[in-house]
Structure 1
Amino acid sequence: MTQEKHHLQRSLGLIDATSIVAGSMIGSGIFIVTAAMARDVGSAAWLLVIWVVTGLLTMSAALSYGELAGMMPTAGGQFVYIQRAYGKLASFLYGWTVFTVIQTGVIAAVAVAFAKYSAVFLPVLDEKIFSVGDSFVFGYKQVLAMASIVLLTYINTKGVVKGKTIQLIFTLAKLVALFALIILGLYVGMKTNILSDNFKNMWEASKTVLNPDGSITVTKLTGIALLGAMGATIINSLFSSDAWNNVTFIAGEIKEPKKNIPRSLFLGTLIVTIIYLLANLAYLALLPMQGTPGANSALEGGIMFAAEDRVGAAAATMIMGNIGLFVMAGLIMVSTFGCNSGLVLAGGRLFYAMSKDGLFFKKAGELNNYDVPEKALWVQCVWACLLCISGRYGDLLTYATFASLLFYILTIYGIFILRKREPNAERPYKAFGYPIIPALYIVVTAAICVALLVYETTSTGLGLGIVALGIPVYYAVMKVKE
């Protein structure tokens, strides 16, 4: 059968698309990042405010993307939107950053998180195979992480139906488990005074720093200092809520995409926002905000100093005792494996769209006998595995966070550009609250970027550097094509 006879099959319905949105968002972050956020603001009320703002920002962005998805219901999603609004250079820089860091880096990080929690059941995974000084260690966890990426890639090369089945099963499993954890957590926690204690002086914010000698330094936060701290730490919750846009990458395989993509974006982000808020409320009902570094129990460590920042595990321990550690490890394994299933499935479609536009490896633009971009999926797999080996994926994610936010701003501003340039274009769905909601998103996210520039200058600079590196690569690609 010749290549021309293959095309992307529209076989994903609304439930499938929604499971990709929610499943791709929920990884390991919700079980970990609250600890760092608690240290940064030191207040239960401000902590919840940050999660509320995160949810509102995510939902407003998703509802804005719905307009672009309705206008351009084709594979590639955000890459296609940026190109239509700004041209090929801007879209290439987005695709370049997604390939080098964002998508593959997240896949690598999530895979390693899966392996890390697998080690709770298989301690042999903690053993190293070899090391080079203190800077590079290669162990069995990295082997398992790479194996999980290869397995998920292989499954997704066998057709979108197999990929969606894995995604749906794991998304439903982790949603049920999360709701069970939340309900049990609130039930157990409400029998104590911990929640009420956490909300005494709930608006008094402070930053807690753990010093090398084990002591802590607490600095009160008010005014601009508080806003700056919130702007810097919100990156934790935003990254935990990221990847919702992955569903736009697979627009070419969604039934009635002009209706189902906007709906799935709304439903998926709404579900995750509610879960994240309830999960943090459960944490606050089970664990005190403050705690003691290196404590011997989950209660003494509190949220701030949960062992290895594993707030979810500490909360589960408060509900079920020592067995809670194993229950939480199992939940995170399900969560991360399901999360990566969606990331792997979606990422290949973006690189497929880039290839069809002459901006990625030519072979990545081909479909196999199952009508999926197999070569694009394997290229993504290889790079993600290399990031697992390098051990530098965590740094890459940090560097890319700032750039990722900039691309969100750029894409949503594209709505204004296209409304003016193409006023008569078909828009089956229009951005909710336009122009106020999209404009508010741009202003608030831009303010967060400014805070990051001030408080995380090195990381943001390196993030911009990764994007800028794509400029000479773009012109080199264009020259080869001439």
Structure 2
Amino acid sequence: MPIDSNSSRPQRQLGLAAAIAVVTGESIALGIFLTPAAMARSLGSPLLLLLVWLVIALMAMCGALCYSELAIRFPESGGEYVYLRAGYGEPVAFLYGWMSSIVMYPGVAAALAVGSVPYLAQVLPIGSAWLSAMPVVLLCLFGGINLLGTRLSGSIMSFVNILKLVILFALVGWAAVSGHAHLSNLMPFTVRRPGSEAIFPAIAGGVVSAFFSFGGWWEASKIAGEVRNPRRTLPLAFIGGVAVVTAVYLLISAAFLSVLPIERLTSNTAFVAQFGQVLFGSLGARILSICVLICVCGGMAALTMAAPRVCYAMAQSGAFFPAFAKLHPRWGTPANAILLQTGLSLAVLLLGAFDRVLSYIIFSAVLFLALAASTLFRVQTPVRGWWYPIAPILFIVISVMIALLILMHDPWPALAGVAIVLCGLPLRRLFATPHAATPHISEVTEGS
């Protein structure tokens, strides 16, 4: 990608399709085939499942409105790091950058890569040694694609995610027209099935699971500095992308339960084979495994594009080693930041630590999401949207509730994660450029 000779910033060459692909990419990944079944089995009622999805969809749409406004005001790469820095200063922003760029995103990427292995085994007739190497291959593949140019990686990401959406809607359509889906399987709609969990733990667990499933829609904010016409494109991407994600989860959940009633749901992984066998017979497990792999690839494509932009933004502001603020002279990508993210993902993968990383960090990540949205209450020019201040208040309240549920369910990993995040305070002096002039981030427009 060519670079403006007067600037170290990348050019804006990502369109609406790429921005929407980032929003939908991580939100519709491995969990699309696992989470609805697990939630339905725990909640025991189609009505409760619908209500939980709608609550999280409301939260996500409120967040999309907030992040649209922030992306318009601060159209720079880096997302939450940029917003937190503008609203609360460099120390708070650095803690987020340290947590996400150095700790969390490598763990998420490694988890997605490992999660693909059981489905690869269904599709590829290769031995266990090759299968165990496939997560490394996937991480290196997507890292390399993002290294070779924003336009290239954006096009591939858009294609994979469009293909993913086509396949998911086609699955819903086939379930409906093939005669395998029956409304009677959803009945009684409001009554909880025998064997479901106690009501409060089931709802609490369902809300947290649904939040994780929707998670990732905010990643489009990290590529704001490379999106064409961000004032128009980013609100459409956030709001349209969240609407698509909501539709997919509602339709897929309805298809699952109309084909396989709650009483027949067993384990998460077995459900994929069950659903595939009903729809496609003996080839069902393989066909559904291909669908899962396409969803995983879409998620990895979005993640590996968005995540390095945090490290790049930190280095641009002088809060991280300056080498990571450089763009490749030929491809115009933050090459060092991409290599760092890929290397850290491989390290987490080889250490087998991705499960622990995610369980430790997710509590802090939810709080940072809420804190970033609260930046709207601290901006210089007041927000004048019809949705303000209801949307940020709802988003912050629901985020805090989810964080409390996580804390109540498993407090020690959450508190350990807070300790990991606070380790960034002494590390900040090590990473920061000693005499870097930290530029002031100002609002570009008065918002929408």
Same fold? TM cut 0.5: yes
- For 1:53, which of 31, 55, 59 is the aligned residue? 55
Aligned residue for 1:472?
426
Could you tell me whether the CA contact under 8 Å between 2:319 and 2:433 is conserved in 1?
A: no
Retained in 2: the 8 A contact 1:36–1:309? no
- Alignment correspondent of 1:236: 209
Match status 1:279 vs 2:252: yes
Shift of 1:364: 1.0
Aligned to 2:302: 342
* Structure 2: runs of 5 or more not aligned: 437-448
User: Hey, which of these two has a bigger chunk of strand by percent?
Assistant: 1
Query: What's the offset of the Cα at 1:403?
Result: 1.4
Q: Could you tell me which amino acid in structure 2 is paired with residue 359 of structure 1?
A: A
Name the TM-score, length of structure 2 as normaliser: 0.90
Distance in 2 of aligned mates of 1:342 and 1:177: 18
1:313 deviates by: 3.7
Give a deviation string over 1:51-101, Cα, whole Å, max 9, x none: 121212112101111111110001111110011001111111111111233
SS at match of 1:250: helix
Which residue of 1 is the match for residue 395 of structure 2? 441
Distance in 2, matches of 1:410 and 1:180, equals 38
Residue 294 of structure 1 corresponds to which residue in structure 2? none
> Is 1:64–1:432's contact at 8 Å kept on the other side of the alignment?
no
In the TM superposition, what is the alpha-carbon distance from 1:115 to its structure 2 partner?
3.1
CA shift for structure 1 position 472: 2.3
- 1:385 alignment partner in structure 2: 346
Question: Could you tell me whether the CA contact under 8 Å between 1:63 and 1:432 is conserved in 2?
Answer: no
1:189 and 1:431 mapped to 2: Cα distance? 46
- 1:204 is aligned with what amino acid? R
Q: Find the counterpart in structure 1 of residue 36 from structure 2.
A: 34
Structure 1 pair 75/120, CA: closer, same or farther in 2 (3 Å)?
A: same
Q: Which residue of 2 aligns with 1:214?
A: none
Q: Identical aligned pairs, as a percentage?
A: 30
Aligned residue for 1:438, secondary structure, equals helix
Query: What is the CA-CA distance between 1:478 and the residue it aligns to?
Result: 5.0
Question: Hey, what does 1:451 align to over in structure 2?
Answer: 405
The structural deviation recorded for 1:389 is: 1.1
Hey, what does 1:98 align to over in structure 2? 100
Amino acid at match of 1:458: W
Residue type of the alignment partner of 1:94: Y
Match runs of 1:13-412 below 5 Å: 13-125=15-127, 127=128, 140-188=130-178, 192=182, 195-200=183-188, 202-204=190-192, 219-221=197-199, 226=200, 228-290=201-263, 302-303=264-265, 305-306=266-267, 308-368=268-328, 369-412=330-373
Aligned ranges 1:409-424 → 2 under 5 Å: 409-418=370-379, 422-423=380-381
- Compared with structure 1, are the counterparts of its residues 191 and 452 closer, same or farther at alpha carbon in structure 2 (3 Å cutoff)? closer
Shift of 1:431: 5.0
Q: Is the 8 A contact 1:70 1:257 kept in 2?
A: yes
Deviates more, 1:4-13 or 1:63-72: 4-13
Larger mean CA deviation between 278-287 and 144-153 belongs to 144-153
Please give the per-residue CA displacement for 1:241-293, whole angstroms capped at 9, x wherever unaligned: 11112111111111111221111111111111101110000011011213xxx
**Distance in 2 separating the partners of 1:2 and 1:271:** 35
C-alpha displacement of 1:367: 0.3
DSSP 3-state at the match of 1:371: coil
Change (3 A) 1:62 1:122: same
Distance 2:163 2:40 in 1: 28
Aligned 8 A contact 1:19 1:168 in 2:
yes
What letter corresponds to residue 365 of structure 1 in structure 2? A
Aligned mates of 1:9, 1:180 — CA distance in 2: 36
Change (3 A) 1:7 1:443: closer
Which range is displaced more, 244-253 or 231-240? 231-240
Secondary structure of the residue that 1:358 maps to in structure 2?
Answer: coil
Residue 247 of structure 1 aligns to which amino acid in structure 2?
A: A
CA contact (8 A) 1:402 1:460 kept: yes
Q: 1:199 to 1:141 in 2, by over 3 A?
A: same
Give the aligned partner of residue 446 of structure 2: none
| Residue-pair matches, total | 433
Q: Could you tell me how far 1:10 is from its partner in structure 2?
A: 0.8
Letter in 1 for 2:310: L
Aligned residue number for residue 440 of structure 2: none
Change (3 A) 1:219 1:247: closer
Distance in structure 2 (CA, Å) of the matches to 1:476 and 1:51: 43
Q: TM-score, normalised by structure 1?
A: 0.84
Alpha-carbon separation, structure 2, partners of 1:63 and 1:391: 37
Q: CA deviation at 1:432?
A: 5.3
Displacement of 1:36 after TM fit? 2.9
Secondary structure class of the residue paired with 1:408: helix
CA RMSD, Structure 1 to Structure 2 (Å): 2.4
TM-aligned CA deviation for residue 154 of structure 1:
1.3
Partners in 1 of 2:4 and 2:82 — Cα distance?
Answer: 26
Q: Distance in 2 between matches of 1:275 and 1:328?
A: 16
Given that residues 355 and 363 in structure 1 are in contact (C-alpha distance below 8 angstroms), is that contact kept between their aligned partners in structure 2? yes
Write the deviation string for residues 21-77 of structure 1: whole angstroms up to 9, x where unpaired. Answer: 112321111111223323432222212211121212112101111111110001111
Q: Which whole-Å deviations, capped at 9, do the CAs of 1:100-144 have from their partners, x for residues lacking one?
A: 33322211111222333111123545x25xxxxxxxxxxx44421
**Aligned AA (2:323):** K
Label 1:355 to 1:310 Cα distance change in 2 as closer, same or farther (>3 A). farther
Residue 217 of structure 2 aligns to a residue whose secondary structure is coil
C-alpha distance in structure 2 between counterparts of 1:403 and 1:310, whole Å: 32
Cα shift readout 1:428-454 (whole Å, capped 9, x = no counterpart): xx5551111211121122122222221
